[in-house]
C-alpha cells in the first residue's frame, strides 16, 4: 500500500473496487510467525464492466498529525492516501523503524488488537456485496457431429453453418454476417472436395473416379476464387483460420503475396499420393530388413524369413555378417546398426565384453564408434560437482587443509553434501581458520558452501532491535576465501597423475559416452 511505485495498486484497481482497508500493527503476527511485518487487510469488490476506477488510494499522502507516533518527529512521513484520508482505519500510530534493509513507516499499537480490529470492521460500508443479475445466455442449437469431424472445424447442416465442439455441432450461423457465411460455405466445399480426392488416391481408386473428383475440385475452387479471391488472402484467412483444415486449403495453391495471385497445386492436375502396399516377398535380406522396420517397427526375424522364404538363422547371419543388425545382449533383441551403435555406446561395450566372445562382432563395432576421451584441459574439476567422489573431497581437506579428522558425504536423494569434522581440531588449525578461512567462517564451512553451491554471508545481531544485518566486510572476506578454496581444489585435483586419470575416466564415462 505504501510502495513508491503504484503498478500493483493500479492492477488491483483495474480488477476490483476498494471498499476499505485496515492497517494492522507490526506486531500482529509476532506470536505466530516470530516476525514483525507491516500488514494491510484490503476489502475488495469485483469491478463492474462500466464502473470507473477510483484513484484516491493509488497514490501516496503524508501521515496526518492524528496518526503520528509521539516518538516520530518526521513531518512528511509517506503513507497511502487511503489512510491519510481515513486515519480511523489504522490500528496504532505511525513511526519509522528498520526492517533490516531500510527505515519504513510502521504502525505501533499496545492495546487490545481484537477489539480494535472489530471496531474498524464495523466502520466498513454495509451491504457492499450484492449478487449480479446475469442475462440469460442465448439458446445453443446443437446436433450430433458427423463421423470423423475434427473439433473446431466448420460444417454445413441444413444450409446453416455449424462448428464442431466435441461430439456436437453448434449452430453459429447467426453469429456471422452474410459475407462470412458465404466465404465459409465456399471454403468448406473446397476442403471437402480436396479431402475426398486425397482419400480416393489413398484408396487406389481408378483414374475415372479420380478424374471426376478432380473436376469437382477444380470447378469449386475456380468459382470461389472468381468471387472471393485466392484462398490465402487475408479476408479468407480471417473467415476460416480457426478451422483445423485451413492449412490443407493453403497447400492447394502457390500464393504470390506481392502480386496477390496464385497457382494451383499439383493436386488439381495429377495424382499426388500412391497407396503403399505391404510387400509379400523380398528379393534380398536388406530389402526384407527395410520392410520389417517399415511395417513392424523393429527387426522381426520371423517376418523377414517369411518374406525371403528362408530360415531365420540364415537371414540373420546374412544381415549380421555385413553389419546391418546386432544381437543386443541387454535384452536379447536384434537391433539395426543405427539403433545399436548409438546412445550410450560405452555402457553397451561393457555389456558386450561381459557377455563373452559370442558378441565379438558387437565389441569390434562398438570399439570403432567410441567417443574420443576428453583431455584434462577440457574438464573442469569444480568443487561441488556431483561426479567427483566424496572421498576425493575428503582427501583434499586432509591434504590441503591438513584436517585429518573429517568425513565427507553426498546424498543423491537430497542432492546435498555434508562434512563432519572435529571442531576443536579445526579451531587449532591455522589453514582452516586463517589461510583458507576467516575468524567468522572457517575453511570447512566455506567448503560446505562450495559443495552445496551456496554463497557465504556473515550476519551480525543488532543489540537494540534484536535483528540481524549483513556484515559487508566479513562477508567479502569469506567470499574471497571461498574463491581461493575453489581455485586450490581445481589445481589439486589434477596434480597427482593417478587422481587425474581417475577423475578424467569418471567424467568421460558419465558425460562423454553417447553417440
Whether the CB-CB separation of 14 and 47 falls below 8 Å is answered with yes
Residues 463 and 433 in one domain: yes
Residues 167 and 253 in one domain: yes
DSSP for 432-464 reads IIIIS--SSS-HHHHHHHHHTT-----EEE-TT
- Tens digit of pLDDT for each residue in 369-418? 999 999 999 999 999 999 999 999 999 999 999 999 899 999 998 899 99
Task: Kindly report, residue by residue over 31-70, the tens digit of the pLDDT.
Answer: 776 677 888 899 888 877 666 767 778 888 888 888 888 8
User: H or E stretch including 478?
Assistant: helix 472-493
The confidence score (pLDDT) of residue 441 equals 95
Nearest to 187 by CA among 128, 233, 129, 124: 233
Residues 352 and 455 in one domain: no
Neighbours of 360 (CB within 10 A): 12
In a domain, 391, yes or no: yes
d(CA 127, CA 130): 7
Please indicate, yes or no, whether residues 165 and 88 belong to a single structural domain of this protein: no
For residue 32, tell me if it sits in a domain: yes
Query: How far apart, in Å, are the Cα atoms of 90 and each of 56, 61, 79, 84, 99?
Result: 16, 14, 11, 10, 19
Domain boundary among 94, 122, 150: 122
Q: Do 380 and 505 fall into the same domain?
A: yes
Alpha carbon distance 152, 159 (integer Å): 18
Q: Is residue 305 in a domain?
A: yes
In a domain, 276, yes or no: no
Dist CA 356 CA 359 (whole Å): 6
- Indicate if 388 and 346 belong to the same structural domain: no
Range of the domain at 116: 7-122
- Looking at the structure, do residues 41 and 74 belong to the same domain, yes or no? yes
Domain boundary among 122, 150, 165: 122
Place of cell 493453403: 250
Domain assignment present for 277:
no
502 is written with which cell numbers?
Answer: 581417475
Element (H, E) at 488: helix 472-493
Quote the pTM value: 0.53
Statement to judge: residues 203 and 307 lie in one domain: no
User: Same structural domain for residues 381 and 503?
Assistant: yes
Answer whether residue 135 is part of any domain: no
Last residue of a domain, one of 338, 368, 398: 368
- Asked whether residue 95 is domain-assigned, the answer is yes
Instruction: Examine the domain organization and report whether 339 and 322 are in the same domain.
Output: yes
41 and 85 assigned to the same domain? yes
Structure confidence at residue 71 (pLDDT)? 81
pLDDT at 196: 94
Q: Has residue 286 been placed in a domain?
A: no
Q: What is the pLDDT of residue 510?
A: 92
How many CA atoms are closer than 13 Å to the CA of 471, on its beta-carbon side?
15
Residues 353 and 407 in one domain: no
Number of alpha carbons in the 13 Å side-chain half-sphere of residue 48: 9
Taken in order 236, 238, 244, 248, is the CA torsion positive or negative? positive
Local confidence pLDDT in tens for the 515 residues of the chain = 888 778 888 888 888 888 889 988 888 887 776 677 888 899 888 877 666 767 778 888 888 888 888 888 777 788 888 888 989 999 989 888 877 677 788 888 888 888 988 898 888 888 777 776 655 555 566 788 888 788 999 999 888 999 998 888 899 998 889 999 999 999 999 999 999 999 999 988 999 999 999 999 999 999 999 999 999 999 999 999 889 999 999 999 999 888 888 999 999 999 998 888 889 999 999 999 999 999 999 999 999 999 999 999 999 999 999 999 999 999 999 999 999 999 999 999 999 999 999 999 999 999 999 999 999 999 999 999 999 999 999 999 999 999 998 999 999 988 999 999 999 999 999 999 999 999 999 999 999 999 999 999 999 998 888 899 999 999 999 999 999 999 999 999 999 999 999 999 999 999 999 98
Task: HSE, CB side, 13 Å, CA atoms: give it for residue 119.
Answer: 13
Provide the number of structural domains found in the chain. 4
Amino acid at each position: 500500500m505504501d510502495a513508491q511505485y503504484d503498478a500493483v495498486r493500479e492492477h488491483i484497481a483495474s480488477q476490483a473496487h476498494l471498499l476499505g482497508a485496515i492497517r494492522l500493527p507490526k506486531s500482529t503476527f509476532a506470536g505466530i510467525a516470530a516476525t514483525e511485518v507491516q500488514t494491510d487487510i484490503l476489502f475488495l469488490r469485483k469491478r463492474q464492466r462500466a464502473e470507473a476506477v477510483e484513484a484516491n488510494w493509488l497514490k501516496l499522502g503524508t501521515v496526518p498529525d492524528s496518526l503520528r507516533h509521539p516518538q516520530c518527529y518526521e513531518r512528511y512521513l509517506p503513507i497511502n492516501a487511503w489512510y491519510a484520508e481515513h486515519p480511523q482505519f489504522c490500528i496504532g500510530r505511525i513511526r519509522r523503524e528498520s526492517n533490516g534493509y531500510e527505515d519504513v513507516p510502521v504502525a505501533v499499537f499496545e492495546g487490545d488488537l481484537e477489539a480494535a480490529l472489530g471496531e474498524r470492521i464495523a466502520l466498513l460500508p454495509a451491504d457492499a456485496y450484492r449478487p449480479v443479475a446475469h442475462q440469460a445466455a442465448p439458446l445453443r442449437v446443437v446436433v450430433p457431429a458427423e463421423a470423423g469431424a475434427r473439433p473446431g472445424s466448420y460444417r454445413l447442416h441444413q444450409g446453416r453453418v455449424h462448428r464442431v465442439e466435441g461430439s456436437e455441432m453448434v449452430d453459429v450461423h447467426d453469429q456471422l454476417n452474410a459475407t462470412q457465411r458465404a466465404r465459409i460455405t465456399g471454403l468448406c466445399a473446397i476442403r471437402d472436395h480436396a479431402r475426398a480426392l486425397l482419400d480416393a488416391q489413398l484408396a487406389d481408386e481408378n483414374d475415372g473416379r479420380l478424374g471426376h473428383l478432380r473436376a469437382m475440385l477444380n470447378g469449386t475452387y475456380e468459382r470461389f476464387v472468381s468471387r472471393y479471391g485466392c484462398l490465402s488472402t487475408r479476408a479468407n484467412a480471417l473467415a476460416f483460420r480457426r478451422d483445423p483444415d485451413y492449412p490443407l486449403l493453403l497447400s492447394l495453391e502457390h500464393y504470390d503475396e506481392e502480386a496477390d495471385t496464385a497457382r494451383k497445386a499439383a493436386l488439381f492436375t495429377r495424382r499426388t499420393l500412391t497407396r503403399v502396399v505391404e510387400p509379400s516377398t523380398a528379393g534380398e535380406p536388406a530389402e526384407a530388413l527395410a520392410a520389417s522396420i517399415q511395417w513392424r517397427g523393429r527387426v522381426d526375424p520371423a517376418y523377414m524369413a517369411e518374406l525371403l522364404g528362408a530360415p531365420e538363422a540364415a537371414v540373420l547371419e546374412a544381415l549380421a555378417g555385413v553389419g546391418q543388425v546386432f544381437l543386443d545382449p541387454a535384452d536379447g533383441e536384434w537391433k539395426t546398426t543405427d539403433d545399436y551403435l548409438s546412445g550410450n555406446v560405452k555402457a553397451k561395450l561393457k555389456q558386450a565384453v561381459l557377455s563373452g566372445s559370442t558378441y565379438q562382432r558387437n565389441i569390434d563395432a562398438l570399439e570403432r564408434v567410441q567417443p574420443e576421451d576428453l583431455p584434462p584441459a577440457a574438464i573442469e574439476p569444480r568443487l561441488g560437482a556431483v561426479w567427483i567422489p566424496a572421498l576425493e573431497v575428503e582427501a583434499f581437506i586432509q591434504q590441503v587443509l591438513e584436517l585429518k579428522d573429517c568425513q565427507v558425504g553426498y546424498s543423491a536423494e537430497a542432492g546435498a553434501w555434508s562434512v563432519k569434522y572435529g571442531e576443536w581440531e579445526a579451531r587449532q588449525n591455522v589453514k582452516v581458520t586463517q589461510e583458507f578461512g576467516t575468524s567468522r567462517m572457517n575453511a570447512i564451512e566455506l567448503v560446505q558452501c562450495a559443495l552445496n553451491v551456496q554463497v557465504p554471508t556473515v550476519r551480525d545481531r543488532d543489540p537494540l532491535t534484536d535483528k540481524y544485518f549483513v556484515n559487508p566486510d566479513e562477508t567479502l572476506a569469506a567470499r574471497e576465501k571461498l574463491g581461493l578454496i575453489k581455485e586450490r581444489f581445481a589445481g589439486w585435483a589434477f596434480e597427482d597423475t593417478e587422481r587425474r586419470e581417475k577423475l578424467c575416466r569418471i567424467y568421460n564415462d558419465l558425460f562423454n559416452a553417447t553417440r
